Chains A and B, each alone.
Chain A
Amino acid sequence: MQMLHRTFWTILAAAVLVALPVVESRPVAQQQEIAPKISNDTIGQQPRLAVPDFLALPAMGAASTDAETADVAKTISQVLIADFEFEREFALMPKDIVSTIPAATSVNDVPFDRWREVNADGVIIGSVQKTATGVRIEMRLYSVRARQASYSREYTGAITSRRLFAHQIADEIHQQQRNLRGVARTKLSFDSDRDGDRMQNTVEKRTVKEIYISDYDGENQRRVTTQMSLNITATWSPDGRSIAYSSYRRVQPQIFISNIYQGTLEELTKPPGQNFTPVWSPDGTRIAFASSRDNNFEIYVVNRDGSNARRLTNSPGADITPTWSPTGTQIAFTSDRTGAPQIYVVGVDGLGLRQLTHESKADRATWSPAPFNEIAYAASTGPGNDIKVLELASGSVRQLTFGEGTNESPCFSPNGRHIAFSSTRSGKTQIFTMARDGKDLRQVTRSGANYHPNWSN
């Protein structure tokens, strides 16, 4: 009897012991989280990152690599480099140095000694292989010093998504390595006269403007509206699936919402009055805009479905171009209630009105996302306008453009590190982006004239 009991406990203990390693396997998963981050030996210096061309692997069963795979591999590394250069978090190794290192033959075969010789801190090795349904991308970010992968992922998708693969890799590496929300997969909207179509019902030659969207870097420019009218001042919904804009298609401008991936259209406002410059609340449930429905431009807030329109301002001056604070509790706007247009701020409850700028003229305020607590705007600085940024905590103002043509309609990237704006510096009005310190200017559009940029989340 005693013995049987002992047997029972022994078997039970054995069963528990056999089961234990299942529990113990968890710390192994934790180990995967501890990956060395890429860093520079010199504190404060950006990590030096090498991005050699991705390897083009032969498709399963194929003897050699095809040209399309080679092209995808090349595109991905090029776009990846451009995405990293845009955020300036890594110092990209020059191409002529990268090309001296023999190409890896697989993502697991990395000549760390050679990369160490040229002082690379990190190197991204990737491969592209066609599959039955599309393409498979393998990517490893290696710490050269630790000689081990710091981040490794595989991706599958359509071969047409080649730029998107690179954008996704860039966003993930910025997040994992630098705790930064990258903008590689964000988009811009703007209005453009590039199609040259004539406005209907006018005697003079007037060219329509249609709403376009593009990737943040200006690639994949696509037309959203086809209304043969003046369609302007588009803004993205926070979920990036809808665009609100003003259209003159019913003569007097009204606000429309285009659900761009469904191809459906909603009318947010109805006559009477003209309704301009819609902007989405940070949670996407409300839209602020300027309207002349009460015979003078005032700021209104309306629900996403057009219900519960509320007037926020009450002055004999024109109150226009609202922008939401990141918390959705305040709205900054332009008003000429004291003469020249200036930027003001008011709570969404209509309380706490305060003048923010004292420029000769200021317009098109746009509130930065957190953690920056800033308002960018266009200020009259002479014959034209320039972009300035007001830091709300200190009240200090910095100027980002200096009379190179006229510079207007600033908007922040969702991480607050970049500003898109329109400028006539290269001739016709075009969309440009620059870093929030005014450096790293890039021209986004080149076809026709383009206005009123807005940056998606």
Chain B
Amino acid sequence: MQRMVRHSVWVTALVMTVVLTAAACKKKAPIARPTAPPAPPTSTNTVPARPPAPPEAVPEVAIVPPEPVIDSGASSGSLDELNRNSPLRPVFFELDSSDLSTEGQRVLDGNAAILKQHGTWTITIEGHCDERGSAEYNLALGERRALSARAYLISLGLPADRLRTVSYGKEFPFDPGHEEGAYAKNRRAHFVITAK
């Protein structure tokens, strides 16, 4: 009998554990109670109420703050004056070409003589194109024109470190026209004095 009672206690404890575990489960996930099946749609206006997904937060339109400003370097009013009446003349090129013509070489001879007189000047040689090529390829063509002029000046004895190149492609035409007269003016190497 005593064994029997002890046994009963053990079984009761086990049953309690199972019931308690079931109760604990109940807390974690709600147990579905049997309910009547939803009535079939009776009218066209009854839409099976599928629970919609929880609201999605749509982000606010992102704000684009201004970039930090970077000091762009030297700026000089007196250089502007010098460049406005620049003694350095531009060199013009044929369509799709960076070859120097005889006339172009003569202009560069003159520019070289001036640069030799002013031994402290440094210059930027800008390469420009007419509008007919694609914008991206013209960046390469403009650079080739600037480099062509630079190489000739170096061959005349000017130090390379005074001659910087920059290509503007077709970004800054001298003449905004759309005919050969304008195009011829826009295919050029242009000289800017950047230090004196």
Contact = CB atoms under 8 A, between A and B. Distances in A.
A156 B72 contact: no
A399 interface: no
B147 interface: yes
A276 B139 CA distance: 8
Given A156-B55, A157-B58, A253 B135 contact: no
Nearest to B80: A203
Contact of A249 (B57, B72, B80, B84): B72
B54 interface: yes
A418 interface: no
Interface in B50-74: 50-70, 72-74
Contacts of A452: 135
Interface stretch (B7-15, B103-111, B112-120): B7-15
B44 interface: yes
Interface stretch (A77-85, A220-228, A301-309, A350-358): A220-228
Contact of A136 (B55, B73, B86): B55
Q: How many A residues are at the interface, by size bracket?
A: 35 or more
Nearest to B137: A363
Nearest to B63: A261
A8 B15 contact: yes
B48 interface: yes
A341 B83 CA distance: 34
A206 B172 contact: yes
A132 to B, nearest CB: 14
Contacts of A295: 147
Contacts of A140: 47, 52
Contacts of A361: 133-134, 137
A249 B46 CA distance: 65
A341 B138 CA distance: 11
Nearest to A407: B134
B11 A200 contact: no
B140 A297 contact: yes
Interface in B78-131: 79-80, 83-84, 86, 96, 124, 131
Contacts of B47: 108, 110, 140, 142, 147-149
A229 B44 CA distance: 63
Interface in A119-172: 136-138, 140, 142, 147-149, 152-158, 160-161, 163-165, 168
Contacts of B54: 154
A11 B15 contact: yes
Nearest to A32: B50
Contacts of A136: 55
B134 A378 contact: yes
Say what secondary structure dominates the interface of chain A: mixed
B64 A213 contact: yes
B7 A4 contact: yes
Nearest to B138: A363
Contacts of B65: 261-263
B135 A409 contact: yes
Nearest to B71: A249
A274 interface: yes
B135 A156 contact: no
Interface in B182-196: 192, 194
Contacts of A230: 168, 171
A263 B31 contact: no
B18 A15 contact: yes
Nearest to A146: B48
Contacts of B51: 32
Contact of B44 (A21, A111, A226, A383): A111
A221 B53 CA distance: 33
Task: Give the interface centre of B32, B44, B66, B192 by most chain A CB atoms within 10 Å.
Answer: B44
Nearest to B55: A154
28 contacts: A4-B7, A5-B11, A8-B18, A11-B15, A11-B18, A32-B50, A32-B51, A109-B45, A111-B45, A112-B44, A140-B47, A142-B47, A154-B52, A154-B53, A154-B56, A155-B58, A161-B61, A168-B58, A200-B72, A201-B75, A204-B172, A224-B64, A233-B136, A290-B140, A295-B147, A320-B139, A321-B136, A336-B137
Given A161-B61, A230-B171, A265-B70, 7 more contacts: A21-B32, A108-B49, A147-B41, A157-B58, A203-B83, A203-B86, A222-B64
Interface of B: 4, 7-8, 11, 14-15, 18-19, 21-22, 25, 29-32, 41, 44-45, 47-70, 72-76, 79-80, 83-84, 86, 96, 124, 131-137, 139-141, 143-144, 147, 164-168, 171-172, 174, 192, 194
